[in-house]
Structure 1
Amino acid sequence: MSGVIKSTLLAVAGLAAVLLSGCSASDSVASKPAPADQIKRGQYLAQAADCMVCHTAKDGSGAPFAGGYPIHSPFGVIYGTNITPDKEHGIGAWSADDFFTAVTEGITPKHRLFPAMPYASYKSMTREDSDAIYAYLMTKKPVALANKENGLSFPFSFRPGLFFWQSAFLKDQLPDVSSGASAEWQRGRYVTNVLGHCAECHTPRTMAGNLDLSQSYQGNPKLDRIGAPDITPSGLAARGWTTTDLATFFAKGVAPQGSAYGEMYPVVHFSTQHMSGKDISAIATYLMGDTPPAPQPLKTISADAALLKAGQRTYIAVCAGCHGLEGQGKPNVSVAMKGNSTLRDINPQNLIVSTLDGIAEQKFPNNVTMQEMPGFARTLSDLEMSQLVNFLRATWGGQAADVSAEQIKAFRSEKH
């Protein structure tokens, strides 16, 4: 293969960390309405597959499925597209065959899709499920909204080169994150690996932009400012998770280990909270395995007393009012710090970033709300922030108090 082809392949493949771009049309469409039960099932599957998040303007402010969600990547900005039945701008002129090919192979009637449309995971979607999702989408109100132009430069915008990426990296099935053979585990494997496409965020990527399957589900800190943590059985157990708590988290967004935030919040809001109890339990069973590891007890950490005292003073001044003097949290106000999964993560990134940037108000099922957490980037110095983070990690996370002011400064400067 020539150097030109190699470089083109690498450039195009790098877009795997961003959203699909472009919808097209074909002349062959369904001529009669789908059965009501198929449409109802399609609605459920579209929620399980988390379609709305990537195909609706940010924060749900636009028409559902009409596109416009921006993703900022190293290659430029790319927008989720219109998948309403509009024939000019959406998928209104697509047939069920067209839809299945786009979803599982990344090829539309007009062009190939950038591989961040998770067809690497959807590759194993059944035709029955694809047809049901298609039937549901075709019942939505057509929205005559043109797709936004992606801010991608050549060669990243060169779609024909996707042929090489798709030929090299599309696999029939992703490797399993856990061991199991039960019917619940088997269902969880399909819902997690295929419909939920969880590996797309929680697996790191290679230089070619494809999922690094040798590190499947081991986390991707480069996903965004808030990284995707390790959700292998051992990684979850190390942060105190159990199968039961995971199921609670997916259903309600809040568990003893904390609440959903960052990119996980819209997943719970638009997807998992709407899923059946059986499917939620199946996901949790698959992630932990039929024989899950025991949650690891919180470690006792020895740290410099003066360092922790300085961090404690800052905690009392700016955090304790919501999270409690003992880190116990307050219902409908804030999560507990004691045993919090983010504090227990060996990688301090998400704790640092959420403390710098803050977290928006979160609304969860059953009228549960976590109030807005302010960011402290403007009120705390790098040294004060590092002292606070170290106090939190050592006191309630069982992690070493080794975060430096330089690390805080680096994350502060990376904010976009």
Structure 2
Amino acid sequence: MRASALEGAFASASDNAGTSYVPLYGHSLGATPAQIGLLVALPNLLTNVLQVPWALLTERLGRRKQIMMLGAVGGRLLWLPLALLPWIAPSPKAAVLVLMIAVSLRAAVAGMATPAWTSLMADLVPRQVRGVYFANRNLLVNLAGFAATLLAGFLVRVGGEPGGYQLVYAFAVAAGIAAGVYMAQMPDLPWQGAPAGQGAAHPGEAREGPVPPAAATRGARARWLRLLAVFRQEPVFTRYCYTAFLWTWAVNLPAPLYAVYLVRDLGGPEAMWGLVTAANFLCTVIAQRYWGFLSQQLGEKRIMLLSGAGASILPVLWLGLPVPALAIAANGLGGFVWAGYNLASFNLLLALAPPARRTTYVAIYNSTIGLGQALGPLLGGYIADAAGIPLVFVLSTVFRAVGLWLFSRAVDTPMPAMTAADLLPLWIKWWRQQGTRAVLARPGPAL
């Protein structure tokens, strides 16, 4: 599990340094808001539409670690074309097109790792410690993301355009290689979802020797039919996917536009985006242990409702910013609430997905939200072109609230009772239990 934590740190540095600046890179090349929406929509679409095929491939081969390595390392090496972009594109219009192709291909390859990684981590980390372990892992991951985004902002400021962006993506490649080194050290546990033989997806499906084309076609058809049957067998999981689609679509409506809004509408410098993104990571780091403890005490659904309520108001909060510098505070608040939501939603997904088919269930979920991740920025970019970015922010808040309400009604999972005092940080609870005089009279425990 130590190797996984270090892999996550370097992967976070690579991914966040790279993805954070894709919209501004496109903006610097002359991309319109609609094209910037495509820069986010196309990678999201490919990443998640391919989740089910990647999951079926993983189940067929039964080689989770090898597939995970190929997708993760290969995807991060594909940041390299972005570092070379000014030298390989003959014109700004061509550069925008090459940028779209490069980030889309990178996302498609990187998505190969997701089902295998999720399944392997579920077997590596016992359920009773998942909340604490992933909170601690996320702490390290977000610290790395925080440092990487600060570094990326510094590189953009020092290198200018386009040299600063080239330095950012060269760094993303180097960090991705380091992540691959630690991923190679992760154990490859026996997979309870893999059958006997050469990694067949289900008992009785032989994998030894060549498979006749007709038999392969029948096997593929049978796997897709079993995939569709999931929605009849697991109604709670199905409703979770439906509500997650609406929520994700609403969240991603303005996703590629925040950076453009900061630079174009608020008048902030491009290098400030590194500070804005870093504030998100810093607050995420601070919040990880808080949400990790609450998740174990109050349950995943409760945490998703609480943190999701805060996440719903974030877009309209941006509309009220009088100066660019306050975007740092707004994104810091976003880091706090999203730390809770992402931790709880991941743990809820693992809880709802049956262990024997977890890879496929996770792929179904990722494909569902992937559709929202693709349609959201695509539609948001076109609305911004037609009516301006502020309308996109308002629509995002409205539909986030609707999605959260539907989730509260449709996904029936245990939700322990709570009081407002349950939300207090541990150190405040300890202070109240001990009494002010007792606390001041003697040193307290290390918290």
Please give the TM-score of this superposition, normalised by the length of structure 2. 0.29
Higher helix share: 2
Higher strand share: 1
